[in-house]
């Protein structure tokens, strides 16, 4: 019982790191970016390539798994995405679905369609019996990393100059620009960090949720659930939504395996019917 709760929390934390970039671009910048999972996949593949081909230790690959998608994100944002900020949602959906298709086929071509395996260091393997539950060491590691990230993000967003500039740019880009804030640079940085975090999530999650070329499609709905159910007014909403989703998914799969994914899909639909703007939306 507690083991399931623990696994669920680890899964939920991971989902949050994967999806928080999306909750910023989609929630704050109002850009429907269905290709978010592609950046996560990029991070995962960076880690597997570095580990399996060049023998780089796992921990040392994580910064690369953050940086590579971040650079990729900035490049795409500067060249393609920024042209679409003011376009209709349908255009954004079509554009990002196109990117997903391209990413899936390209990775399939370059890396093959088989799932990628990584071997985590021995000191992260195994489980420890705490009196009430079995605690996976790797999962504790994931939880710790994600918790640090969550706290850092929240502090950056609420306490720093950059955070307030971002919030200002989102609330009213024109006025923010008038006040001398370089809005497009802020958006580009945010996009880069969001993509980088997704990549980091992909690298951390390669062991837990697997990694293959269909990753962006498989997790698309999960990301969207986190953002829509969590609401878009703060980071707290998506964070709680990720935790609920993680626990519900793991518990659902454990207790009623026959019902499969029903649990979370129905949960999501019910929530969105009663709270169309998300579970934790404040009145905006």
Partner 1 sequence: MQASPPAGTGVCFSAARRWRMAETVFWLAAAATFFGLPGYHLLLTEIAIIGLFALSLDLILGFAGIASLGHAAFFGLGAYVAGLLGKHGWGDPLLGLAAGAGSAALLGFLTSFLVLRGSDLTRLVVTLGVALLLGEAANQAAWLTGGADGLQGVEIAPLLGRFEFDLFGRTAYAYCLVVTFVLFMVARQIVNSPFGLSVRAVRDNALRARAIGVPVNSRLVAIYTVAAAYAGIAGALLAQTTQFVSLDVLALHRSADVLLAVVIGGVGYLYGGLIGAVFLKVLQDVFAGLTPQYWTFWIGLVLVVLVLVGRERAVAGARDVVRRVVGIRRRTS
Pick left, alpha or beta for residue 106 (phi over 0 → left; psi -120 to 50 → alpha; otherwise beta): alpha
Interface residue with partner 1, options 52, 88, 125, 152 (CB under 8 A): 88
Question: What does the alpha-carbon distance between residue 69 and residue 98 come to, in Å, rounded to a whole number?
Answer: 18
CA neighbours within 13 Å on the CB side: how many for 84? Answer: 21
Q: Does 273 help bind partner 1 (rule: CB under 8 A)?
A: yes
Q: Does 276 help bind partner 1 (rule: CB under 8 A)?
A: yes
Interface residue with partner 1, options 71, 94, 111, 248 (CB under 8 A): 94
Q: Does 255 help bind partner 1 (rule: CB under 8 A)?
A: no
Interface residue with partner 1, options 52, 83, 152, 282 (CB under 8 A): 83
Question: What does the alpha-carbon distance between residue 250 and residue 179 come to, in Å, rounded to a whole number?
Answer: 47
Q: Does 258 help bind partner 1 (rule: CB under 8 A)?
A: yes
What DSSP line would sit under 185-252, residue for residue? Answer: HHHHHHHHHHHHHHHHHHHHHHHHH---TTHHHHTHHHHHHHHHHH-SS-SHHHHHHHHHHHHHHHHH
Q: Does 217 help bind partner 1 (rule: CB under 8 A)?
A: yes
Q: Does 265 help bind partner 1 (rule: CB under 8 A)?
A: yes
Of 133 and 221, nearer to partner 1 (C-beta) is: 221
Question: What does the alpha-carbon distance between residue 153 and residue 138 come to, in Å, rounded to a whole number?
Answer: 22
Of 33 and 190, nearer to partner 1 (C-beta) is: 33
Closest distance between partner 1 and the C-beta of residue 58, in Å?
31
Interface residue with partner 1, options 104, 170, 198, 211 (CB under 8 A): 104
Interface residue with partner 1, options 2, 60, 93, 147 (CB under 8 A): 93
Interface residue with partner 1, options 106, 147, 148, 179 (CB under 8 A): 106
Question: What does the alpha-carbon distance between residue 1 and residue 147 come to, in Å, rounded to a whole number?
Answer: 22
Question: What does the alpha-carbon distance between residue 109 and residue 86 come to, in Å, rounded to a whole number?
Answer: 33
**Residue 144, H or E segment:** helix 137-159
Interface residue with partner 1, options 108, 133, 173, 253 (CB under 8 A): 108
Interface residue with partner 1, options 5, 56, 71, 97 (CB under 8 A): 97
Interface residue with partner 1, options 128, 132, 179, 269 (CB under 8 A): 269
Q: According to CB under 8 A, which residues from 14 to 43 bind partner 1? A: 26, 32
Contact in structure between 195 and 39 (CB atoms under 8 Å): yes
Q: Which residues make beta-bridge pairs with 130?
A: 133
Q: Does 282 help bind partner 1 (rule: CB under 8 A)?
A: no
Helix (H/G/I), strand (E/B), else coil: 152 = helix
Binding residues for partner 1 (CB under 8 A): 26, 32, 80, 83-84, 87-91, 93-95, 97-106, 108-109, 217, 220-221, 224-225, 227-228, 258-262, 265-266, 268-269, 272-273, 276-277
């Amino acid at each position: 019982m507690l083991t399931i709760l623990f696994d669920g929390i680890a899964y939920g934390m991971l989902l949050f790191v994967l999806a928080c970039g999306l909750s910023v671009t989609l929630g704050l910048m109002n850009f429907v970016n269905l290709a978010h999972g592609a950046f996560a996949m990029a991070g995962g593949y960076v880690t597997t390539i570095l580990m399996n081909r060049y023998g780089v230790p796992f921990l040392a690959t994580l910064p690369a798994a953050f940086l590579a998608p971040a650079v990729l994100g900035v490049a795409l944002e500067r060249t393609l995405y920024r042209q679409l900020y003011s376009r209709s949602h349908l255009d954004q959906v079509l554009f990002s679905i196109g990117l997903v298709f391209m990413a899936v086929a390209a990775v399939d071509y370059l890396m093959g369609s088989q799932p990628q395996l990584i071997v985590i260091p021995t000191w992260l393997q195994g489980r420890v019996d705490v009196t009430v539950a079995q605690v996976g060491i790797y999962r504790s590691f994931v939880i710790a990393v994600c918790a640090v990230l969550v706290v850092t993000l929240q502090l950056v967003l609420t306490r720093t100059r950059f955070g307030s500039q971002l919030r200002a740019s989102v609330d009213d880009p024109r006025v923010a620009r008038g006040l001398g804030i370089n809005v497009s640079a802020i958006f580009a940085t945010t996009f880069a960090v969001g993509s980088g975090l997704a990549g980091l999530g992909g690298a951390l999650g390669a062991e837990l949720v697997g990694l293959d070329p269909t990753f962006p499609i498989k997790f698309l709905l999960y990301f969207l659930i986190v953002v829509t159910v969590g609401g878009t007014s703060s980071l707290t909403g998506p964070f709680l939504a990720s935790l609920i989703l993680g626990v519900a998914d793991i518990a659902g799969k454990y207790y009623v395996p026959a019902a499969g994914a029903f649990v979370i899909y129905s949960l999501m639909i019910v929530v969105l019917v009663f709270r169309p703007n998300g579970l934790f939306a404040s009145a905006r």
